[in-house]
Amino acid sequence: MPETDRPRTDRPLVISAPAPRTLDLIFTPDALERLHRRYRVIEADPENIAGLGSAVLSEARYIVGQPPLSADTLERMPRLRAVLNVESNLIDNMPYDVVFRRGIHVLTTGQVFAEPVAEMGLAMALNLARGIVDADVDFREGRERWGGEGNKSARLLSGSEIGIIGFGDLGKALNRVLSGFRAKIRVHDPWLPASVLLDAGVEPASLETVLAESDFLFVVAAVTSDNEGFLGAKAFAAMRPGAAFILLSRAGVVDFDALIAAVESGHIRAASDVFPEEPLPLGHPVRRLPGFLRSAHRAGALDIAFKRMGEMVLEDMELMDRSLPPMRCKRAERETVARMRSKPVTVN
């Protein structure tokens, strides 16, 4: 039996606070069994980690989840090695200076969403290009237009010019799924050096260039303390007439009223997976806006993605148990962690 599968008598202690996830969501039954075989798992109220008591806090090696932690609580957790957040977004809810000074890893499993979101982005782009959903609705209602008649405003993704705003896990996955389309892909990401983009085969570009030179523009930038609402009326006006604006990260990077106005005027088309309020009120104007394709924050939330989170957590905890560094999850960086502002989901 491999060393990692052997039942342990001295099982390390894990505090479980995975909200908004649950352990059943992120672990397959087999993985959950492996978790319990290797670790003593204490379920916690994420809002009251301090209330767990000193016996638990002093033993805890890992936290699965991203609950708020005070400096006092951290002080009571001398054995803590990692916070594994089972989310994509990092929340500014713990004293990161203390966490980094202590060498505690803060890890995110957000990479699991990259392929699901990229595929949804591709589907949205093709849909905006070919009007598939609208044509289906017309067909159901008996007013379909046949052949070229139904393609008056259709265009090709192949050979087009594409912009990607944000080149983290989502942006990189999007670039991969777009690789068959012979498109020219420009990327704007102010936190990355040009060489990272060039190595990925894309052209580094300013925000102005991606806005002005794209037929399809994908937004997969995280919301940060520096960029809230940075895509507004001026940005939409700078886009090519008829271009497609595809928002996949968070509504917080966009002035949503200005986006609605730009689509309403017929200047651009848009698709979005994310909205300023979720769920969106029934009377919200974007619900009935022609030229706008809506998706109810479904891009990343696939069961296969959630189950990968559990695998990543287990693999990294097992590495750290052997005093090796975590290799599956992404580490929060001391320079940027407290600047992240993407609002966490409330519905999985």
Ligand X SMILES: O=C(O)C(=O)COP(=O)(O)O
Name the residues that contact ligand NAI, by CB under 6 A: 88-89, 110, 113, 117, 165-171, 188-192, 220-222, 224, 227, 230, 248-250, 273-274, 297, 299-300, 342
Q: Check binding of 344 to ligand X (CB under 6 A).
A: yes
Q: Which does 221 bind (CB under 5 to 8 A by kind): ligand X, ligand NAI, none?
A: ligand NAI
Is it true that the peptide bond before 279 is cis, omega within 30 degrees of 0? yes
Q: Which is nearer to ligand X, 77 or 84 (CB)?
A: 84
Q: Which does 224 bind (CB under 5 to 8 A by kind): ligand X, ligand NAI, none?
A: ligand NAI
Site track 282-311 with ligand X (rule: CB under 6 A), x = hit:
------------------xx----------
Closest CA to 226 of 152, 335, 126: 335
Contact by Cβ (8 Å): 63, 82: yes
Q: Check binding of 25 to ligand X (CB under 6 A).
A: no
Q: Check binding of 160 to ligand X (CB under 6 A).
A: no
CB of residue 345 vs ligand X: minimum separation in angstroms? 4
Helix (H) or strand (E) holding 265: none
CB of residue 141 vs ligand NAI: minimum separation in angstroms? 30
Q: Which does 177 bind (CB under 5 to 8 A by kind): ligand NAI, ligand X, none?
A: none
Any bridge partners for residue 41, and if so which? 14
Contact by Cβ (8 Å): 267, 293: no
**CA-to-CA distance for 172 and 23, rounded, in angstroms?**
28
CB of residue 348 vs ligand X: minimum separation in angstroms? 8
Site track 85-114 with ligand X (rule: CB under 6 A), x = hit:
--xxx-----------------------x-
Residues in CB range of 204: below 8 A, 6 or more apart:
186, 187, 188, 194, 197, 198
Q: Residues for the chain: how many in total?
A: 348
* Dihedral sign (CA 106, 107, 108, 114): positive
Q: Which is nearer to ligand X, 22 or 58 (CB)?
A: 22
Q: Which is nearer to ligand X, 1 or 304 (CB)?
A: 304
CB of residue 142 vs ligand X: minimum separation in angstroms? 37
Any bridge partners for residue 203, and if so which? 186
SS3 assignment, position 186: strand
**CA-to-CA distance for 121 and 125, rounded, in angstroms?**
6
Instruction: Give the binding site for ligand X (CB under 6 A).
Output: 87-89, 113, 300-301, 344-345
